[in-house]
Structure 1
Amino acid sequence: MKSLYKITFLICITILVSSCHNNSRPNYEYMPNMYEPVSYETYEESSAFKNGKEGQLPPEGTIDRGFEPYEYENSTAGYDLAKLNLKTPLDTISEKDVEKSKELYDIYCAICHGTEGNGKGKLVTQGKYLGVPSYKDRVINEGSVFHVQTYGLNSMGSYANQLNSHERWLVATYVINLKAKL
């Protein structure tokens, strides 16, 4: 009798399990977009934008957050204009700013220009770079140093991504102080 109950129980379980599965009618999907998302290819046209081709552009005349416009162009004429007209906006420099400017100079400039500004930095003494000028031999002012830090000059690259405008002015002031000591 026990075996009859076991066989009946197994048959009922088999019928119950097989009745739930129907290949012609799949089960309901809750939130089908989660299971089958719409994928987009990079740079493909989309109906999400007005013109169908490119994303929404910022309004004309706007600038990026944190960006400070610099009106001198990256050319020799722009360098000369910056040298003539550009003055530091820093009225007074505190002791804390002097320490910060020395720290920034040591991090970004001393490797090539040397800690005294004599053009004998570690990379120059090792022969990695040649022709790094001493500040003593150059006719420079704070405006020209700021311009060179912003755009770069010859083999020196721009430091506008590493230093913000205030930090570049601090370094420019420190460079002029080093030049005075030479």
Structure 2
Amino acid sequence: MLAMNKIKILGTTAFVIAASIVITSCKDRRSTGWQYAPNMYEHIAYEYDQANPNFKDGKTAQVPPAGTIPIGFKRFDYPNNNAGYQLASTEVTNPLAANAQNLADGKALFTTFCSPCHGVNGQGDGTVVQHGYPAPPSYSKGQSSRGGAMKDLTDGKIYHTITYGVNAMGSYASQVAPEERWKIVMYVHQLQQQ
């Protein structure tokens, strides 16, 4: 008799649980059920393109204050003109140690970013030239469009050119970090001697 009561109690409990699940799940068809960690998809923060009452202009995306520098950014305070180019030539030198690792890194970076135009050996015979684009001057034999032989380019001139670009060459400042630019400068000096 005790076993019969246990079976009735368990059966009744299971029926009540099942009925309550069915009734509560059919109550509102638009309901998604319980929310676990709703702040994962209902953001508290404003999106960059949303209106924001916390600022005078009502915009979330704000221009950084004047004179601020992003973390890890290194300033290059030489203007993008011939005067800045000449000044960089006399004042700027490569801060990296000339060692095998930096030179190998410079070669890899040059191969990736520079060789499509300048060629693997810096002779101005890259793949873009084969597609009809004008050839850049050879590092060992060519003449710079800014005057002087390419083989005489200084650290500052090469770094300035990578940073700002010249003629058909665009700026590589957004693709190549400052330390990487110095490694490329080191490798270009090696190509100038060929």
TM-score, structure 1 as length reference: 0.68
- Structure 1 residue runs of 5 or longer lacking an equivalent are 1-16, 22-29
In 2, Cα distance between equivalents of 1:168 and 1:80: 18
Identify if the C-alpha distance between structure 1 residues 127 and 45 changes in structure 2 by more than 3 Å, giving closer, same or farther: closer
Greater C-alpha Rg: 1
How do 1:18-57 residues align onto structure 2 when only pairs under 5 Å count? 46-47=52-53, 49-55=54-60
Q: CA deviation at 1:50?
A: 3.8
Question: Identity rate of aligned residues, in percent?
Answer: 37
In 2, Cα distance between equivalents of 1:150 and 1:77: 15
Matched, 1:163 2:176: yes
Matched, 1:106 2:111: yes
Q: CA deviation at 1:64?
A: 1.2
Letter of the 1:142 counterpart: D
Report if aligned partners of 1:146, 1:168 keep a CA contact under 8 Å in 2.
yes
Deviations 1:8-52 (A, max 9, x none): xxxxxxxxx9xxx9xxxxxxxx99xx8xx9xx99867542x2424
Matched, 1:179 2:185: no
Among residues 157, 160, 163, which one is paired with 1:150 in the alignment?
Answer: 163
Letter of the 2:80 counterpart: N
Computed over aligned residues only, the root mean square deviation of the Cα atoms, in angstroms, reads: 2.9
Among residues 128, 133, 140, which one is paired with 1:129 in the alignment?
Answer: 133
Provide the residue aligned with 1:62 in structure 2. Answer: 68
Report if aligned partners of 1:45, 1:52 keep a CA contact under 8 Å in 2.
no
- Paired positions, count: 147
Among residues 93, 100, 120, which one is paired with 1:115 in the alignment?
Answer: 120
- Structure 2 residue runs of 5 or longer lacking an equivalent are 1-22, 28-33, 144-148
